[in-house]
Every structure is written in C-alpha cells, then in structure tokens.
Amino acid sequence: MTKQVTVIPVQKGKSYKVEVTGLGHSGEGVGRYEGFTVFVPGALPGETVVAAITEVKKNYAKGVLSKVLMPSPDRVEPLCALFHRCGGCQLQHLSYAAQLTVKRQQVVDAIMRIGKLDGVVVHPTLPAPNPWYYRNKMQFPVGLAGNRAVVGCYAQGTHDIVDTEHCYIQHQANNIIAAVMRDVVNKLGIATYDERTGKGVIRHILGRVGTATGEVMAVIVTATRELPHRERLIAKLTKAVPGLVSIVQNINPKRTNVILGEETSVIWGKETITDRLGGFVFQISARSFFQVNTEQTVRLYNKAVEYAGLTGVETAIDAYCGTGTITLFLAKRAAKVYGIEVVEPAVRDAWLNARRNGVDNVDFIVGDAVDVMPKLYKSGVRPQAIVVDPPRAGCDRRVLETFVRMQPDRIVYVSCNPASLARDLAVLAECGYMTREIQPVDMFPQTSHIECVVSLKRKHSE
Ligand SMILES: C[S@@+](CC[C@H](N)C(=O)[O-])C[C@H]1O[C@@H](n2cnc3c(N)ncnc32)[C@H](O)[C@@H]1O
C-alpha cells in the first residue's frame, strides 16, 4: 500500500493570502491557503487576509494577521483600545448582530459535525439587551510592569497582565474597584505577588455586583495573612465605590493558578451581597458561584423552565445544580425538585437560598452525579423532567444512562460548550431522547462563548 504524503503549502516565517471561512472556538479566523487550514486571530469570515505564519503542524498552521485585503461588511472598530492585546474579549471587531449569527452557526456546526443530528431546530441566538458592561463579576490579577502596578485581564494565552483602566464588559463598579486597587498599590508601594518567585502580597482583586440591588463586594486576594495599609485600602474603597457593602480578604498562599484560597475573612461590612433573579433573592458570598450576566440568566432559566413543561404536579431533577438557582425556578412549577451538586459549600448555599425564599419542595444532595443519580433511581425517584447544566466537559456517559433508565418524558440540557453538548445529545438520541429545539443564549457578548438550552423528548411520548 502506498502511503499518501500530504504536501504542506505554507512555511513558518512566510506570508500568504488566506481566504477566511469561519471562526474557531476562541474567535480566531479559520481559513484556507491552497486547501490547507490556517488559523488567523483577528480575521473574520468572508475576509481575504495576509497572514504571516508562526507555527506549522501536520494538518494546520497558525498565523498573525498582517493585512486585511478584503474586509467583512460586519467588521467594526473595537470599542476598547486594548482589544487586540487583551484576552478578555475575542469578538469586539465583529458587529453585535454578526456575533449572534456566528455563535448560532457554531452550535449548528457542532450538532451536525459532532452530534450528527438532523432536523434539529436551532433558533436565532437570544441577544443580550446590553452587550456592554454586563459582567457582575470581575477577577483581575494584580502584578508589576516595570516598577508600576498593573491590574487587568491576561493577554491571550499568556500570564502577562494587560493594564485595564476601563473594561467595557465589566459593571462600572468593578472598574472602580480595579482603579482604586491600582492607585493604592502604586501610591503606598504595597508589594504585588510574583507568580514566578511566589513572593509578594496582592494577587488578585475581585468585584461582585448584585445588579438588581446595587450591592457591591470587593475581594482582595493576598498571598500573606498580613494586608499592609489595610485601613487605608478600606477607606479608599468605601469612599470611591458606590453601593459597596462588603470588603473581604481572601488568603491564598499556594503556588497555583486557582484564584481563591481556603481562608476568607470579612474586613469591612457584610459577609455577602444580595441579588435578585426572577423574584428570588440570593445571598452571594466571595466564593459562591453565580452566573455573571444577571439579565440573561433570567432568560436562560425561564427557557429551561419552559422546556421542562411542568404543571405543578411533577417531580423534577436539577442535575449539577450549583447553588440551586435553577432548582428554585423549577420548584415554582413542580411538586418536588431534587438538586444534585458535588461542591458542598454550594449545596449549603442552595439550602439557605431555598429557606430564604420560602421554598420547601426541594431536596439538595451533595455528591458526584455519577453516584447520586443511580441512588435516586434505586430509591424509586422517577422524574417527569430532568434539567442538566454540567461544566464545560459535559456529562459522564453513566449519568446520561441513568437519566434514560429513569424514563423522564423531557430532558432539558443547559450547556456552555457546543462540542460536549453535541456529543451528549448524540448519546441521548441513541437511547431514544430526540433533540427537538435548541435556544442559544448570548450570556457573554464580545467573547466567543455561547450558552444553549436544549429541549429533548422521549421518543414514544411524542
Ligand atoms: C455550569 S455550573 C451550573 C450551576 C447552576 N445550574 C447555575 O446556573 O448556577 C455546573 C455545576 O456542576 C457542578 N459539578 C461539576 N461536576 C459535577 C459532578 N460530577 N456531579 C455533580 N455536580 C458537579 C459544579 O460544581 C457546578 O456547580
């Protein structure tokens, strides 16, 4: 048998004219040169660009955009001057209407290519009413550039901090918190943490905003227990940040990329902030998981509830429930809802959230869904609807198999990753659960991320 030899038509260091046809997972342009795939960050579908090749692999190459020969009609001037350096946003150079279209297309492509599912209705992406300043949570590293303190996002694919005086997707209160931190650290000469040596004090500054209530929390993450000039920092933050009700110090002495350490202490004000979602009140602590785009979260959850098709008499399961937010939305329309979550503090928050909102038809179970689901099955739980909202990796196959054994009439799949979603929908299709419709929801405007809510129905119950 003769082995076919692929001729690679590009060379590192040389430039080529590339026709761009799509966008990759990180928002980079995906194009072709003589049929060979070239990834070009900054290039848009429909464009012809010149790319200088920086890396060549067997099946693809990567290049740097050196010139746009034919621009896309959807290309716009990014609002942020830091856009081309900062890793926070990937799509500011694409009009918002076109962002919604390409995100939907990514879902369609994954469903066809990975899931191999035909006839699935993928609705137009649900736009965010405000595609700017929507993030209720900021997590900025603090570091040094020369002898100046810098605060901002990392540059794409690196740990170099891009000093960000104004982030266009952060809530304004978060921008003020970052500005105070930069100013105080520079003026008072507080040492910033150096991740290469493990020395220094200030690692990260976090901001959390209850967008419905206006309550704000600042979290100062330090490598040491001691926080130099603590009182000055508190005075500056309380003076500058409207709505501030809480300042927390989190201590993380470990040499790790994980932002928060184990120890948290309130150094001013309250331990939590309050926010409202769909008529429910939630207390959010420094460590609690809470969706970052509050307005869109309500739309996402309402869609999940609609697809669950509850009338008030059913049993439902909210698998991977976090702090029980979707659980409470479902509980309004069900007789009983079980929430399953592996992180114990999240389950504690879930119980508190249920109690505060007077919801008593819920039960939260701590544990890995792989273990908890079969236990529920053995104990006779037979839900009419299961809502599942797993992390990016999607569901373990054993979890999906237990769903199927429980024979719910409806499964609602909430996903932040079209690829793992498509894989899991294919597994469910094999087991008789047909994907009927998918609603992409834009939770993260200006970035390449897309969230989806999917309605599945058991075949024989149609
Ligand atoms: C995408 S979040 C969804 C949280 C919640 N539905 C919300 O909207 O706030 C996924 C959740 O799954 C949890 N999780 C991850 N792996 C798990 C597992 N194996 N079993 C149960 N829960 C898990 C995570 O801790 C996280 O809270």
**What is the predicted pLDDT for the residue at 4?**
65
d(CA 208, CA 136): 6
* Same domain for 150 and 47: no
* Same domain for 143 and 167: yes
> How many domains does the chain divide into?
3
How far is the centre of ligand 1, averaged over its atoms, from the C-alpha of 339 (Å)? 10
* Same domain for 321 and 266: no
Asked, for residue 187, whether it belongs to a domain, the answer is: yes
Q: Residue 57 sits in a domain of what CATH number? A: 2.40.50.140
Asked, for residue 198, whether it belongs to a domain, the answer is: yes
| Protein residue closest via CA to atom 27 of ligand 1 | 322
Question: What is the average per-residue pLDDT within 72-94?
Answer: 96
**What is the predicted pLDDT for the residue at 15?**
97
Q: Is 391 in the pocket of ligand 1 (CB under 6 A)?
A: yes
d(CA 192, CA 148): 10
**What is the predicted pLDDT for the residue at 5?**
64
Q: pTM for the whole thing?
A: 0.93
How far is the centre of ligand 1, averaged over its atoms, from the C-alpha of 59 (Å)? 35
Q: Is 322 in the pocket of ligand 1 (CB under 6 A)?
A: yes
| Protein residue closest via CA to atom 12 of ligand 1 | 320
Active-site annotation, residues: 416
Q: With 80 as the cut, is the pLDDT of residue 460 above it?
A: no
User: What confidence tens digit (pLDDT) does each residue in 138-151 have?
Assistant: 999 999 999 899 99
Q: With 80 as the cut, is the pLDDT of residue 64 above it?
A: yes
- What amino acid occupies position 156? Q
- What amino acid occupies position 161? I
User: What confidence tens digit (pLDDT) does each residue in 375-419 have?
Assistant: 999 999 999 999 999 999 999 999 999 999 999 999 999 999 999
**What is the predicted pLDDT for the residue at 362?**
98
Q: What is the CA radius of gyration of the chain?
A: 24
d(CA 202, CA 66): 38
d(CA 100, CA 428): 27
Cβ 387 vs Cβ 409: under 8 Å: no
**What is the predicted pLDDT for the residue at 3?**
61
How far is the centre of ligand 1, averaged over its atoms, from the C-alpha of 142 (Å)? 28
Out of 284, 301, 332, pick the residue that ends a domain. 284
Which tokens hold the place of 283? 């207390």
Q: Is 321 in the pocket of ligand 1 (CB under 6 A)?
A: yes
Asked, for residue 91, whether it belongs to a domain, the answer is: no
* Same domain for 270 and 165: yes
Spatial neighbors of 327 by CB under 8 A, at least 6 apart, are 318, 321, 337, 339, 350, 354, 362, 364
Q: Which ipTM did the prediction report?
A: 0.99
User: What confidence tens digit (pLDDT) does each residue in 256-286 have?
Assistant: 999 999 999 999 999 999 999 999 999 999 9
Cβ 303 vs Cβ 453: under 8 Å: yes
How far is the centre of ligand 1, averaged over its atoms, from the C-alpha of 367 (Å)? 11
Angle at 138 (CA atoms; ends 194, 235), nearest 5 degrees: 80
Annotated binding site for S-adenosyl-L-methionine: 291, 320, 341, 389
The phi-psi region of residue 2 (left if phi > 0; otherwise alpha if psi is between -120 and 50; otherwise beta) is beta
**What is the predicted pLDDT for the residue at 156?**
85
Residue of 341, 396, 413 to mutate, ligand 1, most atoms within 8 A of C-beta: 341
d(CA 181, CA 144): 13
* Same domain for 331 and 258: no
* Same domain for 166 and 44: no
Q: Is 368 in the pocket of ligand 1 (CB under 6 A)?
A: yes
**What is the predicted pLDDT for the residue at 2?**
59
Asked, for residue 36, whether it belongs to a domain, the answer is: yes
* Same domain for 142 and 118: no
Q: Is 320 in the pocket of ligand 1 (CB under 6 A)?
A: yes
d(CA 80, CA 446): 11
Neighbour count for residue 11 (Cβ, 10 Å): 11
d(CA 111, CA 119): 10
Q: Is 341 in the pocket of ligand 1 (CB under 6 A)?
A: yes
* Same domain for 310 and 265: no
Q: With 70 as the cut, is the pLDDT of residue 60 above it?
A: yes
Q: Residue 432 sits in a domain of what CATH number? A: 3.40.50.150
Asked, for residue 5, whether it belongs to a domain, the answer is: no
- Which atom of ligand 1 approaches the CA of 326 most closely? 6
Q: Is 365 in the pocket of ligand 1 (CB under 6 A)?
A: no
Asked, for residue 8, whether it belongs to a domain, the answer is: no
- Which atom of ligand 1 approaches the CA of 368 most closely? 20
* Same domain for 368 and 227: no
Q: How many CA atoms lie within 13 A of 121 on its CB side?
A: 6
* Same domain for 354 and 331: yes
| Protein residue closest via CA to atom 26 of ligand 1 | 322
* Same domain for 453 and 356: yes
d(CA 389, CA 397): 14
- Which atom of ligand 1 approaches the CA of 340 most closely? 21
Out of 284, 319, 338, pick the residue that ends a domain. 284
User: What confidence tens digit (pLDDT) does each residue in 336-375 have?
Assistant: 999 999 999 889 999 999 999 999 999 999 999 999 999 9
DSSP tag of 228: T
Angle at 298 (CA atoms; ends 108, 176), nearest 5 degrees: 105
Question: What is the average per-residue pLDDT within 157-174?
Answer: 95
Strand partners, 336: 315
Which tokens hold the place of 248? 């927390």
Burial class (CB in 10 A: 0-12, 13-18, 19+), 313: exposed
Question: What is the average per-residue pLDDT within 54-68?
Answer: 96
Annotated binding site: 291, 320, 341, 389
**What is the predicted pLDDT for the residue at 323?**
92
Query: Could you tell me the end-to-end alpha-carbon distance of the chain, in angstroms, rounded to an integer?
Result: 51
How far is the centre of ligand 1, averaged over its atoms, from the C-alpha of 105 (Å)? 26
Q: With 60 as the cut, is the pLDDT of residue 114 above it?
A: yes
Out of 284, 307, 342, pick the residue that ends a domain. 284
Q: With 80 as the cut, is the pLDDT of residue 462 above it?
A: no
Asked, for residue 80, whether it belongs to a domain, the answer is: no
Give the residue numbers spanning the domain of 278.
137-284
Helix (H, G, I), strand (E, B) or coil at 7: coil
Asked, for residue 175, whether it belongs to a domain, the answer is: yes
Strand partners, 435: 456
How far is the centre of ligand 1, averaged over its atoms, from the C-alpha of 318 (Å)? 10
**What is the predicted pLDDT for the residue at 288?**
85
Residue 41: what are its φ and ψ, rounded to 5°?
A: -55, 140
User: What confidence tens digit (pLDDT) does each residue in 166-207 have?
Assistant: 999 999 999 999 999 999 999 999 999 999 999 999 999 999
**What is the predicted pLDDT for the residue at 345?**
85
d(CA 403, CA 388): 10
Spatial neighbors of 415 by CB under 8 A, at least 6 apart, are 389, 390, 394, 421, 424, 451, 452, 454
d(CA 197, CA 157): 20
* Same domain for 265 and 192: yes
